[in-house]
């Protein structure tokens, strides 16, 4: 099976990222009766983003289950259900709400396996969203995945294409550990090639979204398109940018990142989470250490501005790294 | 005592305080109604960034409750917060400006529809986390009690917030410490797109009572009934007798948010029609006012006045400038 | 049906099932008592790493409840969890080994006193987060119902967990979805060093009922009463009638943890003495057994037998090796 | 006023870190009637660690207030009380429990000021603990401060001495923003010089705990003593280590860190939080960028092992950086 979309020989069709998520769920639910979905407004409403539309028709309200607005409670229920024979996928409408679930995820889900000496397992998935620029203000726009990455026992996935979303979500569901799966809410309608035949993508394998020689741009989730856009702009300056998507932040494919950095000797890391004490801090550290003797310049970190996300459009737009900003940063790194 | 300015009286003869209150509430409810119709219009004309959750249909709750409060008293509000803010005395022009993300808005455009806050009217802020203001409201009551300033706080929330555990944590402390806070649950039957009976076991009032709070329900479409119930709870709290829980039964006439237009899959057109025809809070109050002798023309002129106010306010907001880009990293730290 | 092995019967004449149950429960309670006295001893002799929270005084609750469960049924437990684990069938040697951080322990030494877990006896794990297992317990009941395996789950927690909102969130869902889970609140009067009346407003049973759960209280010092109440709730749940809430009134005879020795500032010696003298669950059951004709010598021999078992178990644990250092990063991921 | 303990001319006395915390609270409570303490078992019990012993006697149960076991609830109450005229200090017994408060801290406390356009303020302090090796297992041993550092609107303080604890806590209480103050529970009995006269330490100023030339060890909280111990061992090898304590992770005194790194050209950062996606990631990134052209080797990061903290003593001890480990790492960095 091809592990990256670029390896698909004949992409028979294009579907949206939202459809890819739904397909992954539907296929896994058909394959394994233990898989079920729970969350707020997931059934008839198909979630606030309509990503699960129709799923309840096939699987019924017992397997696509509307919950009260109790993120901590139903996450806890998922932990217990996962320990005792089911494989729940919980839906957290906005990633901003994961604060409500941190105790369940960190003190329970992430630790049950270890604390029990390896006896109990917690095969569950938490799907949550991230991303700003939706004019939703400070409590509905955050990208808080760095918290989850910090916690041993959890795995963290951030797909950036329909192809990756489908293959990674299927792996996440089959994984015997708690996996947190962050989807950019602005990308649900983004289309991309997805084969009709079945495939999975292993957790822990980065993907080179675009090969290049002069500079490496490591980008996650929403920022992958931004990086690809910047790479295109850089072409005009005859700068060849390599764009790498780690796809899973834990486990992290350090090798692919470091190899690219050693090749190009200049690196930008860009992620929509806050830049300080965030995902870019780790990615930059890994690269700065692993490619130390090859780097010509400090690794440039780009993340959300260190402010609560403002509502006002001109302000909000200023908080998120853009194609233009990445392009300028790359030029500066290359002294052009 | 009220935060609501007495309008130019449209009824000539000297009025009873009760009639005056009725007219004041009517006008304030009309402000909410017409403000929000304008918000919906801004959305459909693609003039407003993002979404908004309309309070239309529920106006009697916010207005009836705030009629029982002073300007200094506190409220916390929700994602469906315009009604609470206006009822507590917010100015329409700055409300619109905030919804459009303009510098002149209540929060300099940083908050938007779901985060209107205003110390001048005791508005601690609308909150986009369901149940997210329960702690803040209880804390404000805690401070009021410690500082002995006689204020009370009303925590507005939808019945969906009954799913959030923190609500019970703070109700427990409010009861233990006899804090002057009223938990005002607006049961509009739906958590977004799911009927509350699918998410709420047991009995809501019994829940509150289990935590030691006196609890009662009230017809949320009847501003006068809401006022009476709120007044009692507020007076009680102000006298130091502790918190209370009020359940206002109501209905939102529009979708969950302005974009929620096809709603048949979760509630029927008939249900909506029935509420609009039979339980419109403006109509309920209008009927009573008419019974008291307020002539029909007065309602028309009030509506015209308020519409003018709304029109001017929205014009102001549309013309107002956005905040300068360098404001983005201000106000992060005090 | 019971997880507890029938002991060598010390009473010669053929017994009623009720008497058999009484003897079985007595022996299991004795195991907990003597196990924990040994734990306290290990602590005072500085042989045990960290602290432990003793269950002594509360044994009738765990044993009465687990008497109503099958081995396949689930429990979740707390920081004060030894009693629950033993009542559900845990072996003493592996318990001790875990408390000493040894490889032979239930969790290979990784969990310690507050995290004993054992799939073989349906023990989903003790939990050091107050209220932290409410979600897990409810989830296990959810799975049992979905899988149709007829199991029920008992969620043990102290009255301090009534402060954690997540408890109400999951009780609501358990009631909505008729899950086979019993919320077993052990009210031992104290949240650590604070009397529960300073932290708990209203009425505990009313709280549970507000969320749609049948709720009753039971004398937690009387194993037979606990068993009877638990049996009813468990049978109910197993038949698909949904969750229940049981409030067991009890008392811990020791400190909050083994190091909590000077306790006068939060509870009086007299209070402790009264409970120990008048409400010792072993004594309560012993009195009943004696009434049924069990001769005094039989209690002595049971005690001697259990003491031998405890002594052997602790010797095993002391002699057992620590896990090798390279085990530290195993079991992080499945 | 001296800003570091080393500047105290005549330290009239030594007190423990726990006593320093208590003194800071008592002084601020005397000075400002709006200050109050709330949390579980804070009054008569003086907290589980006995740090607040006696405070209730002076200020009464209205200002040293026992709460139910409702971390989210009383944190939320503190936010509201702070907005409306009080200056609450909430006590979170074990830092592991901050997961329960993340929604209140992140979506409320941290954002109220910004979302209200600067109108409401939240002058509150959350005191929490961190640190392992107390044989308390996975749910009572974590050091989760990196989560809080990631969030704009919060300030984060990690004192490492009685002197710093007192001066920083007083500043935290006087600050008009939500400040999270992490105390190492193993350090409560550590003694150090504290002047009798009043002083405060500004938030955002690192402290050079030991001057040196050959290598910089940036250490936080519990790891400062570890670093100082390592520095002592290094003396024998005639390696002169500089030990720097940032003291506040946000605001972060980047300048002092970078200057030292540029001087010594070799850096270790050591923190008791998890090493991955943690505080060391940010500190290392800041230094790798700021001292890029002066570094002779990659910044070495040392943090807690990426596992839930095990109970068993030999296992637990293996998860935390030790004097010896830091010493060895330093030698290796210097090629000795
Ligand atoms: C903690 C949290 N979970 C979920 C949401 C998403 N959400 C926004 S409004 C809403 C429904 C709220 O229902 P209710 O409280 O009854 O208020 P109503 O919209 O009916 O006024 C939900 C689930 C949220 N904002 N916060
Ligand atoms: C969420 C959380 N908050 C605080 C603590 C610290 N703590 C441990 S036990 C305890 C008291 C628990 O009281 P209760 O639930 O009545 O159980 P008991 O100890 O009386 O058996 C507290 C506050 C904790 N472990 N978890
Ligand atoms: Mg509703
Ligand atoms: Mg108790």
pLDDT digits (tens, 9 = 90+) for C102-155: 999 999 999 999 999 999 999 999 999 999 999 999 999 999 999 999 999 999
Q: Does residue C6 surpass a pLDDT of 70?
A: no
Q: Which atom of ligand 1 is nearest to the CA of B58?
A: 21
Give the mean model confidence (pLDDT) for residues B130-150: 98
Extract the tokens encoding B106: 């209540």
Contacts with B168 from chain C: Cβ below 8 Å: 165, 168, 207
Contacts with D70 from chain B: Cβ below 8 Å: 169-170, 172-173
- pLDDT value at residue C134: 98
User: Does C172 sit within 8 Å of B169, measured CB to CB?
Assistant: no
Query: Closest partner residue to C110 among A81, A114, A120, by Cβ?
Result: A114
The strands making up B181-187's β-sheet, listed across from edge to edge, are B74-76, B153-158, B181-187, B244-249, B215-219
Handedness of CA C288, C290, C296, C302 (dihedral sign): negative
Peptide bond into D251 cis (omega under 30): yes
Model pLDDT for residues B189-242, shown as the tens digit of each residue: 999 999 999 999 999 999 999 999 999 999 999 999 999 999 999 999 999 999
Extract the tokens encoding C61: 């609750």
- pLDDT value at residue D7: 60
- Which residue in the block uniquely carries the two structure tokens 């997805």? A194
Give the mean model confidence (pLDDT) for residues D162-184: 98
Residue B192 alpha carbon to ligand 3 centre in Å:
7
**CA distances, D186 to each of A23, D133, D191, D279, D309 (Å):** 51, 8, 12, 20, 15
What percent of chain B shows pLDDT beyond 70? 96
User: Does C193 sit within 8 Å of D69, measured CB to CB?
Assistant: no
Q: Does residue C268 surpass a pLDDT of 70?
A: yes
CA A222 vs. chain centroid, Å, equals: 8
Query: Closest partner residue to C135 among A67, A80, A121, by Cβ?
Result: A80
Give the mean model confidence (pLDDT) for residues A137-152: 98
A29/A12 Cα distance (integer angstroms): 23
Probe site for chain B from D34, D115, D180 (most B CB atoms < 10 A): D115
Give the mean model confidence (pLDDT) for residues C44-57: 98
Model pLDDT for residues C90-114, shown as the tens digit of each residue: 999 999 999 999 999 999 999 999 9
Extract the tokens encoding A84: 């005792």
3-class state of residue A289 by DSSP:
helix
Contacts with C165 from chain D: Cβ below 8 Å: 70, 72-73
**CA distances, C83 to each of A261, C66, C75, C119, C283 (Å):** 56, 10, 12, 17, 17
Give the mean model confidence (pLDDT) for residues B101-126: 98
- pLDDT value at residue D12: 76
Probe site for chain C from D312, D313, D325 (most C CB atoms < 10 A): D312
Of chain A, the end-to-end C-alpha distance in Å amounts to: 41
- pLDDT value at residue B4: 43
β-sheet bridge partners, residue D241:
D215
Find the closest chain C residue to D140 by CA distance: C128
Q: Which atom of ligand 1 is nearest to the CA of B80?
A: 21
Model pLDDT for residues B69-81, shown as the tens digit of each residue: 999 999 999 999 9
- pLDDT value at residue D2: 47
For a pocket test of ligand 1, which of B192, B254, B259 has the largest count of ligand atoms closer than 8 A to its C-beta?
B192
The residue ranking higher by pLDDT, C5 or A156, is A156
A110/A154 Cα distance (integer angstroms): 5
Residue B163 alpha carbon to ligand 1 centre in Å:
10
User: Does D70 sit within 8 Å of C101, measured CB to CB?
Assistant: no
- Report residues whose beta carbon is within 6 angstroms of any ligand 2 atom: C 79-80, 128-130, 158-161, 188, 190-192, 256; D 40, 69, 71, 93, 97, 100
Chains that touch D (3 or more CB pairs under 8 A): A, B, C
Q: Which ligand is nearest to the CA of A68?
A: 1
| CATH superfamily label, D12-195 | Thiamin diphosphate (ThDP)-binding fold, Pyr/PP domains (3.40.50.970)
Contacts with D137 from chain A: Cβ below 8 Å: 115
- pLDDT value at residue A7: 60
User: Does A41 sit within 8 Å of B191, measured CB to CB?
Assistant: yes
| The domain over range A207-330 is classified in CATH as 3.30.420.40 | no
Contacts with D73 from chain A: Cβ below 8 Å: none
Nearest to residue A261, comparing CAs of A278, A283, A229? Answer: A283
Contacts with B211 from chain D: Cβ below 8 Å: none
Query: Closest partner residue to D44 among C112, C128, C266, by Cβ?
Result: C266
User: Does D108 sit within 8 Å of B136, measured CB to CB?
Assistant: yes
β-sheet bridge partners, residue C29:
none
Q: Does residue A3 surpass a pLDDT of 60?
A: no
Extract the tokens encoding A151: 């916690």
This complex has an ipTM of 0.97
D234/D324 Cα distance (integer angstroms): 10
Probe site for chain D from C48, C97, C129 (most D CB atoms < 10 A): C129
Q: Does residue D36 surpass a pLDDT of 50?
A: yes
User: For chains A and D, what is the number of CB pairs under 8 angstroms?
Assistant: 153
User: For chains C and D, what is the number of CB pairs under 8 angstroms?
Assistant: 123
Q: Helical H runs in A187-278? A: 222-235, 254-264
> Would strands C181-187 and D155-157 be described as parallel, antiparallel, or unpaired?
unpaired
Q: Does residue B10 surpass a pLDDT of 60?
A: no
User: Does C129 sit within 8 Å of D312, measured CB to CB?
Assistant: no
Model pLDDT for residues D46-75, shown as the tens digit of each residue: 999 999 999 999 999 999 999 999 999 999
B179/B157 Cα distance (integer angstroms): 18
Angle at C64 between CA C62 and CA C68, to 5 degrees: 105
What residue segments make up the domains of chain A, in order of their start? Answer: 12-195, 207-330
Model pLDDT for residues C53-101, shown as the tens digit of each residue: 999 999 999 999 999 999 999 999 999 999 999 999 999 999 999 999 9
B15 pLDDT band, cuts 50/70/90, is confident
Q: Which atom of ligand 2 is nearest to the CA of D140?
A: 25
Contacts with C325 from chain D: Cβ below 8 Å: 314-315, 318
β-sheet bridge partners, residue D91:
D39, D127
A6 pLDDT band, cuts 50/70/90, is low
β-sheet bridge partners, residue B218:
B248
C-beta of residue D88 within 8 angstroms of C-beta of residue D124: yes
- pLDDT value at residue B6: 43
Question: CB within 8 A of C227, min separation 6: which ones?
Answer: C21, C25, C64, C65, C67, C68
B176/D244 Cα distance (integer angstroms): 46
CB atoms within 10 A of CB D27: 17
- Which residue in the block uniquely carries the two structure tokens 């009217």? B121
B44/B41 Cα distance (integer angstroms): 5
- Which residue in the block uniquely carries the two structure tokens 């839906």? A91
Establish if B200 touches chain A: CB-CB under 8 angstroms.
Answer: yes
Establish if B197 touches chain C: CB-CB under 8 angstroms.
Answer: no
B12 pLDDT band, cuts 50/70/90, is very low
B250 lines ligand 1 (CB under 6 A): no
Q: Does residue D272 surpass a pLDDT of 50?
A: yes
Give the mean model confidence (pLDDT) for residues D270-275: 98
Question: What one-character-per-residue DSSP string does C275-312 give?
Answer: HHHH--HHHHHHHHHHHTT--HHHHHHHHHHHHHHHHH
- Which residue in the block uniquely carries the two structure tokens 């402000």? B31
User: Does B201 sit within 8 Å of C206, measured CB to CB?
Assistant: no
Model pLDDT for residues B51-100, shown as the tens digit of each residue: 999 999 999 999 999 999 999 999 999 999 999 999 999 999 999 999 99
C57/C41 Cα distance (integer angstroms): 17
Question: CB within 8 A of A216, min separation 6: which ones?
Answer: A241, A242, A243, A244, A257, A260, A261, A263, A264, A266, A267, A268
Q: Which atom of ligand 1 is nearest to the CA of B191?
A: 13
Chains that touch C (3 or more CB pairs under 8 A): A, B, D
User: Does B115 sit within 8 Å of D113, measured CB to CB?
Assistant: no
**CA distances, A280 to each of A286, C84, D248, D276 (Å):** 10, 45, 21, 11
Catalogue all structural domains in chain C, each as residue range(s) with its CATH number.
47-319 (3.40.50.970)
Establish if A70 touches chain B: CB-CB under 8 angstroms.
Answer: yes
**CA distances, A90 to each of A97, A200, C176 (Å):** 13, 20, 18
Exposure of A301 in the CB half-sphere (CA atoms within 13 A): 29
Q: Which ligand is nearest to the CA of B130?
A: 1
C-beta of residue D243 within 8 angstroms of C-beta of residue D257: no
Q: Active-site residue among D140, D145, D150, D306?
A: D140
Give the mean model confidence (pLDDT) for residues D328-333: 98
- Which residue in the block uniquely carries the two structure tokens 């706080």? B153
Establish if A314 touches chain C: CB-CB under 8 angstroms.
Answer: no
The answer to whether A12-195 and A207-330 have equal CATH topology is: yes
B21 lines ligand 1 (CB under 6 A): no
Handedness of CA C53, C56, C60, C63 (dihedral sign): positive
Per residue, the 3-state secondary structure of chain B, as one string, reads CCCCCCCCCCCCCCCCHHHHHHHHHHHHHHHHHHHHHHHHHHHHCCCCCCCCCCCCCCHHHHHHHHCCCCCCCEEECCCCCHHHHHHCCCCHHHHHHHHCCCCCCCCCCCCCHHHCCEHHHCECCCCCCCCCCHHHHHHHHHHHHHHCCCCCEEEEEEHHHHHCHHHHHHHHHHHHCCCCEEEEEEECCEECCEEHHHCCCCCHHHHHHHCCCCEEEEECCCHHHHHHHHHHHHHHHHCCCCCEEEEEECCCCCCCCCCCCCCCCCCCHHHHHHHHHHCCHHHHHHHHHHHCCCCHHHHHHHHHHHHHHHHHHHHHHHHCCCCCHHHCCCCCCC
Nearest to residue A104, comparing CAs of A37, A180, A204, A182? Answer: A180
Residue-averaged pLDDT of chain D = 96
Q: Helical H runs in A109-253? A: 112-115, 145-149, 162-174, 222-235
pTM confidence score: 0.97
Residue C193 alpha carbon to ligand 4 centre in Å:
9
Model pLDDT for residues A231-278, shown as the tens digit of each residue: 999 999 999 999 999 999 999 999 999 999 999 999 999 999 999 999
Give the mean model confidence (pLDDT) for residues D23-35: 98
Q: Does residue D37 surpass a pLDDT of 90?
A: yes
Q: Which atom of ligand 1 is nearest to the CA of A41?
A: 23
User: Does C119 sit within 8 Å of A113, measured CB to CB?
Assistant: no
- pLDDT value at residue D68: 98
Q: Does residue D219 surpass a pLDDT of 80?
A: yes
Give the mean model confidence (pLDDT) for residues D22-33: 98
- pLDDT value at residue D175: 99
Establish if D101 touches chain B: CB-CB under 8 angstroms.
Answer: no
Nearest to residue C333, comparing CAs of A121, A213, D136? Answer: A121
B1 pLDDT band, cuts 50/70/90, is very low
Residue B131 alpha carbon to ligand 1 centre in Å:
8
Exposure of B125 in the CB half-sphere (CA atoms within 13 A): 36
Give the largest Cα separation in chain A, rounded: 59
Model pLDDT for residues A191-204, shown as the tens digit of each residue: 999 999 999 999 99
Q: Does residue B21 surpass a pLDDT of 80?
A: yes
């Amino acid at each position: 099976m091809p592990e990256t979309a670029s390896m698909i020989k004949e992409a028979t069709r294009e579907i949206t990222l939202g459809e890819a998520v739904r397909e992954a769920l539907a296929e896994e639910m058909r394959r394994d009766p233990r898989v079920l979905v729970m969350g707020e407004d997931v059934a008839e409403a198909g979630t606030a983003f309509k990503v699960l539309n129709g799923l309840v028709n096939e699987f019924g309200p017992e397997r696509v289950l509307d919950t009260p607005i109790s993120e901590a409670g139903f996450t806890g229920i998922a932990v217990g259900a996962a320990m005792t024979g089911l494989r729940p996928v919980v839906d957290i409408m906005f990633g901003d709400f994961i604060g409500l679930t941190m105790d369940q995820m960190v003190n329970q889900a992430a630790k049950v396996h270890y604390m029990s000496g390896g006896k109990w397992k917690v095969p569950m998935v938490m799907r949550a969203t991230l991303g700003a620029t939706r004019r939703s203000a400070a409590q509905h726009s955050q990208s808080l995945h760095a918290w989850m990455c910090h916690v041993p026992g959890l795995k963290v996935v951030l797909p950036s294409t329909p192809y990756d979303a489908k293959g990674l979500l299927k792996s996440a569901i089959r994984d015997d550990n708690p996996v947190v799966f962050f989807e950019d809410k602005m990308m649900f309608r983004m289309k991309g090639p997805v084969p009709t035949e079945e495939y999975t993508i292993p957790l822990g394998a980065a993907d080179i979204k675009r090969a290049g020689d002069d500079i490496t741009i490591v980008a996650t989730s929403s920022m992958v398109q931004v990086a690809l856009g910047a790479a295109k702009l850089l072409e005009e300056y005859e700068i060849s940018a390599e764009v790498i998507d780690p796809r899973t932040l834990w486990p992290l494919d350090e090798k692919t990142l470091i190899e690219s950095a050693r090749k190009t000797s200049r690196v930008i890391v860009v992620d929509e989470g806050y830049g300080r004490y965030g995902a870019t801090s780790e990615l930059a550290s890994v690269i700065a250490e692993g490619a130390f003797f090859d780097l010509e310049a400090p690794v440039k970190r780009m993340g959300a501005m260190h402010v609560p996300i403002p509502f006002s459009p001109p302000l909000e737009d200023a908080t998120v790294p853009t194609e233009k900003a990445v392009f300028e940063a790359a030029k500066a790194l290359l002294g052009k | 005592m009220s935060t609501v300015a007495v309008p130019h009286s449209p009824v000539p003869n000297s009025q009873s305080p009760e009639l005056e209150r009725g007219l004041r509430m009517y006008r304030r409810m009309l402000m909410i109604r017409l403000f929000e119709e304008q918000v919906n219009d801004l959305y459909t004309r693609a003039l407003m960034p993002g979404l908004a959750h309309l309070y239309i249909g529920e106006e009697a709750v916010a207005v009836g409750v705030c009629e029982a409060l002073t300007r200094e008293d506190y409220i916390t509000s929700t994602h469906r917060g315009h009604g609470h803010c206006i009822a507590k005395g917010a100015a329409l022009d700055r409300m619109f400006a905030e919804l459009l993300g303009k510098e002149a808005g209540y929060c300099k455009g940083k908050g938007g529809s779901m985060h209107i806050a205003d110390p001048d009217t005791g508005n601690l802020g609308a909150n986009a986390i369901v149940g997210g203001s329960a702690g803040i409201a209880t804390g404000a009551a805690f401070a009021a009690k410690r500082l002995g300033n006689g204020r009370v706080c009303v925590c507005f929330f939808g019945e969906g917030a009954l799913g959030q555990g923190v609500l019970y944590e703070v109700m427990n402390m409010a009861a233990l410490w006899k804090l002057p806070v009223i938990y005002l649950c607006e049961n509009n039957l739906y958590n977004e797109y799911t009927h509350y009976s699918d998410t709420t076991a047991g009995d809501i009032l019994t829940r509150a009572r289990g935590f030691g709070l006196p609890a009662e329900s009230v017809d949320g479409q009847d501003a006068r009934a809401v006022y009476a119930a709120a007044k009692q709870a507020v007076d009680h709290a102000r006298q130091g007798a502790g918190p209370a829980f009020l359940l206002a039964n109501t209905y939102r006439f529009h979708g969950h948010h302005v974009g929620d237009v096809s709603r048949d899959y979760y509630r029927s057109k008939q249900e909506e029609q029935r509420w609009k025809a039979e339980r419109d809070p403006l109509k309920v109050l209008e009927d009573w006012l008419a019974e008291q002798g307020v002539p029909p023309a007065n309602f028309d002129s009030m509506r015209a006045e308020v519409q003018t106010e709304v029109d001017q306010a929205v014009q102001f907001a549309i013309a107002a400038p956005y905040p300068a880009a360098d404001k983005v990293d201000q106000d992060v730290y005090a």
